[in-house]
Structure 1
Amino acid sequence: MKPRENNFAIAEQNVLGGCMLDAKAFWSIADVVTERDFSSRRHSVIFGAISELVREGSSADSITLAEWFESHKISDLVGGVSYVIDLANTTASTANIRAWAEIVRDHAIGRRVREAGTKIASLTGPDSLAEAQAVLGSVVGGSAAPTKDAKAAMRGVLRVMQAQTDRDSDLLGVSTGFPMLDEMTAGFQVGELVLVAGRPSMGKSLLAMQFAHTAAAAGVPAHVVTLEMQTAACVTRMISARSEVPFDIVRDAKKIEDHHWPRIVSAGDDIGALPLYFDDDVYDLASALARIRQANMQHGTRLVVLDYVQHMRLPEAQTMALAVQEVTRELKATAKALGITIVLVSQLNRSLEQRADKRPMMSDLRESGAIEQDADVILFIYRDEYYNTESPHAGFAEALIRKQRNGRTGMVPLRTRFDIQRFDAAPGGLPQIAPSAPARRYRGFGGNSGRAIND
């Protein structure tokens, strides 16, 4: 028999205590509950820590957990070391742990259904249907997909392989628009969360917008969710890039001359015909997810750019890292559930500027929660000329792939064409300047094409 159904608080304690008594017990309930199923915040955090330790091959006894919480400076969040020890000491055995876990899961589903009903009842406005769908999706979000046997899994792999051999393109996914980057990544893949990050003025938002523009131009429906710019500003930049009329002219109509208009109008018509969609009035995770789901249902979007995470009203959490963790995990889950690619733009903090070499590294993401773990591809954008006025690489940028779950890492050189708001491929690589050669400068920002000039 199951323990008393209404005793969910004790059920949560016994699940945690059982996992602490024997790490093997965790695997017996890992398919039943997740950390989001625990009604108590501290229980959720404790279960998350147990999951991380056990999956790394470590034990999750009370002493190990206490040390883990101390090292992460969140002991107070879980009620102190004494509470963790009490959980283990008051749990007699692991015999009924799966039954206890089922109570936790069932109570969590009921709780989410009630919360969803309240939220849906309060929804108003043009986005209420999409938001309701997002709310309902969150109710079942923790449900596990049916287990696949080896035969079913193999059939799925063979179908993908057959589709790949039949396609016209050499790419497995959506083209980035840059041949060298496509070669490294095989394009943006279904279900991926791609992070584009950098310091201010590196061009991270511009690059992400260009990914969306390129995808749409290739017939792939793309969706830009921008928390930084208005839609008009995004489109103005795209018109400049497509028409090659300098951005400072396009954005100020008084500067437009007669010979500019045909190119501007043509570019505008081309962009208007693309399967490209914009949202610029979202402010938090729930509204962003609602718009992403709505666009996917209505337009079949396959690539989403979200610009950028630091401008989002983050979920309430004890720390910024935990808040960002919730955002990235929800975005990753959404990308996987909808079969799309989500490109998330993020700004790095200024600590990297204390180093001699200011190229971003993975360690620069440590204060950004679980981005490093959740992202399938991490791409940093770096321009040496921003820090070094005598840089031989002026007019160029480095796209630094620091992580790729299914591929290699490395650097892809890009030409900066900020005068017309775009990046171009740099098949010749970064300029190689001989020590005895006279200095050469490359204009890459404002009012020129980025061509090399001699002093």
Structure 2
Amino acid sequence: MTHDDEGGFEQLPPNDIEAEACALGAAMLSPDAAGQVAEMLRVDDFFRPAHQIIFRALLATYGRGEPVNPVTVRAELPRQADGPEHVPDGMYLHRLVEQVPMVNAVGSYITQVRNVAKLRGLAVAGPRITQLAYASAAADADDAADIANKLLDEATATSTPSVARSVADMAMPFMESLEAGGDQRGVASGWTDLGRLVPRFRPGQLITIAARPGVGKSVAMACIAHYVGVKLGLPVFVGTLEMSTDEFMARLVSHDAKVNLKHLLEPELLTEDDWERLARSLDRLQSAKTLVIDDTPAMGIPHVRASLRQMRRTGSPAALTVIDYLQLMESPKKVESRQVEVSQYSRGFKLLAKEFEVPIIVGSQLNRDVERRADKKPILADLRESGSVEQDSDIVIMLNRDDVYDPESPRAGEIDMYVEKNRNGPKGLATLAFQGHYSRIDDMAARDNWTPHGVVS
């Protein structure tokens, strides 16, 4: 406790000077401890100013590859302090070393320093959030909540090293990655035919799946969500603005159990075979504990960001995010045009994909121009209210089915997936089997030595 000017008491922010001292002392006794302290703590995690200066000196010494001990750290102190009067006493370094109970307990010292630093961050963030709430207008509530969440994230953040790395550091890991088969991060669509064009949806990518209403945009996204969330068992966030959670769930069950969707929507039509299929499906679906479906009305990017934060905090960061679909999102703020609003969302989702290192798939409608053409093949210019959708997307997949326009088409039951933009791969066309009554899209019959037709590098 410290006395204030009026003779009362003012509570100090949360701190643990002893844990700070033990962490620094252990770092100067053991190379392993020095590495843990340097990589897991930040300057702001230390409350005592002298400890911040010592930690900066420790970081500089460790970063040069020199041994970390009281002698080398002391030599670095003058370069890390703001002035000679702030340089800690060299004897203090030796006292830090002498008071360490157990060097191999450095992990517990680090944990305690970080935990107290989080509490200290919350103590600082609290008044700032309160001030933000009073200063914001009601119409800006979502933005204020988003800023408040960021303040809380900053307050409770763990140490994050800089993402900037030299080419020299990355050259060997890159070559080793090639030898091991390349970068395997990301998730596949589940379709072999499309996978020949787009092997994986990678972290940070924005993928747009576009089609006219009724072609199969929602079915395609539900299929991918099912493959990643149920078959692979990875965390998936699905934001569905077009359907309710129950409606989306019906399609997911129809897909998984191969039960006619009409039977699920009208249960009196369910047959004995349907019930047997549903019973087998139940076990698979009950294991999908991290496949999350959200049908919040007027869902915006702040809501999606908050949901992804929540998944990350609970230890299940999303491996995939699916939003169905872009044009149904609305902003509480007035914008000059609908095109500008949709463009803001596409850019926002691209930034969100990079922020959370997750591929984000968004559905998008095509305009009616495609229906006026004889071949009905969609092109990028058909993106409705496109604005920056094409620019922001790393991959654009456009869907078409001949039998939507001609029920007697010889290609009934087929769906074309045109990869019209592919930042890291070829463009081309993959044709799959469309089973709308099961809410399914599957690969066509197995074919040997098959390559996607219409491939453009």
Q: TM-score range by the shorter chain?
A: 0.5 to 0.7
The separation in 1 between residues aligned to 2:286 and 2:143, in whole angstroms, is 26
Range that drifts further, 378-387 or 233-242: 233-242
Task: Write out aligned runs for 1:165-314 (5 A).
Answer: 165-166=179-180, 173-216=186-229, 217-274=231-288, 275-283=290-298, 284-298=300-314, 299-314=316-331
Displacement of 1:292 in angstroms is 3.0
Instruction: Describe the SS at the equivalent of 1:220.
Output: coil
DSSP 3-state at the match of 1:185? coil
* Paired residues of 2:209 and 2:217 also in contact (CA < 8 A): yes
> How many Å separate the matches in 2 of 1:316 and 1:285?
16
Q: Give the whole-Å Cα distance in 1 for the aligned partners of 2:353 and 2:152.
A: 14
Equivalent residues in 2 for 1:1-400, closer than 5 Å? 118-119=132-133, 131-132=145-146, 136=150, 152-153=166-167, 155-156=169-170, 158-159=172-173, 162-163=176-177, 165-166=179-180, 173-216=186-229, 217-274=231-288, 275-283=290-298, 284-298=300-314, 299-314=316-331, 315-365=333-383, 367-400=385-418
CA deviations 1:117-164 (Å, max 9, x no partner) are 53598799xx99995467527999xxxxx9989962453465466456
Deviation at 1:244, TM superposition (A): 1.1
Please list the CA deviations of residues 11-44 of structure 1 after superposition, one character each: whole Å capped at 9, or x if unmatched: xxxxxxxxxxxxxxxxxxxxxxxxxxxxxxxxxx
TM-score in terms of structure 2 length = 0.60
Shift of 1:219: 2.5
Runs of 4+ in structure 1 off by over 6 angstroms are 113-116, 120-124, 127-130, 137-140, 146-150
Aligned mates of 2:293, 2:384 — CA distance in 1? 31
Tell me if the contact between 1:249 and 1:255 (Cα under 8 Å) persists in the aligned partners. yes
8 Å contact kept, 1:399–1:411: yes
Q: CA RMSD in A?
A: 3.6
TM-score of the superposed pair, with normalisation by structure 1? 0.61
Kept in 2: contact 1:305–1:344 (CA 8 A): yes
SS in 2 for 1:259: helix
Q: Secondary structure at the match of 2:166?
A: helix
Whole-Å Cα distance in 1 between the matches of residues 382 and 130 of structure 2? 37
Task: Determine the C-alpha separation between the residues in 1 that align with 2:340 and 2:198.
Answer: 29
- Classify 1:172/1:136 alpha carbon distance in 2 versus 1 (closer, same or farther; 3 Å): closer
- Is the 1:196–1:204 Cα contact (8 Å) retained in structure 2? yes
How far the C-alpha of 1:327 sits from its partner, in A, is: 0.7
Supply the distance in 1 between the matched residues of 2:402 and 2:366 (Cα, whole angstroms).
16
Structure 1 pair 370–256 and aligned structure 2 pair: CA distance change class (3 A) = same
Q: Which has the larger radius of gyration?
A: 2
Q: 3-state DSSP class of the match of 2:335?
A: coil
Specify whether residues 181 and 148 from structure 1 end up closer, same or farther in structure 2 by C-alpha distance, changes over 3 A only: same
Displacement of 1:166 in angstroms is 4.2
Identity %: 30
Flag the 1:323–1:415 CA change in 2: closer, same or farther, 3 A.
Answer: same
8 Å CA contact 1:378, 1:404 repeated in 2: yes
Q: 2 CA distance for matches of 1:227 and 1:236?
A: 15
Q: Is the 8 A contact 1:196 1:380 kept in 2?
A: yes
1:377 Cα deviation after fit? 0.2
Asked if structure 1 preserves the Cα contact closer than 8 Å seen for 2:225 and 2:238, the reply is yes
Cα separation, 1, equivalents of 2:225 and 2:171: 28
Partner Cα separation in structure 1 for residue 370 and residue 134 of structure 2: 44
Deviation of the 1:285 alpha carbon:
3.0
Q: 2:442 aligns with which of 424, 427, 434?
A: 424
Residues 157-212 of structure 1 deviation map (CA, whole Å, 9 limit, x = unaligned): 65466456547x99553110101211211211110000001001110011011111
Using the TM superposition, give the Cα deviation of residue 297 of structure 1 relative to its aligned residue in structure 2, in angstroms. 3.3
Unpaired runs of at least 5, structure 1: 1-112, 141-145, 430-455
- Name the aligned partner's letter for residue 292 of structure 1: L
- Aligned partners of 1:371 and 1:244: how far apart in 2? 34
Q: Give the 3-state SS of the residue equivalent to 1:397 in structure 2.
A: strand
CA contact (8 A) 1:191 1:341 kept: yes
**SS of 1:271's equivalent?**
helix
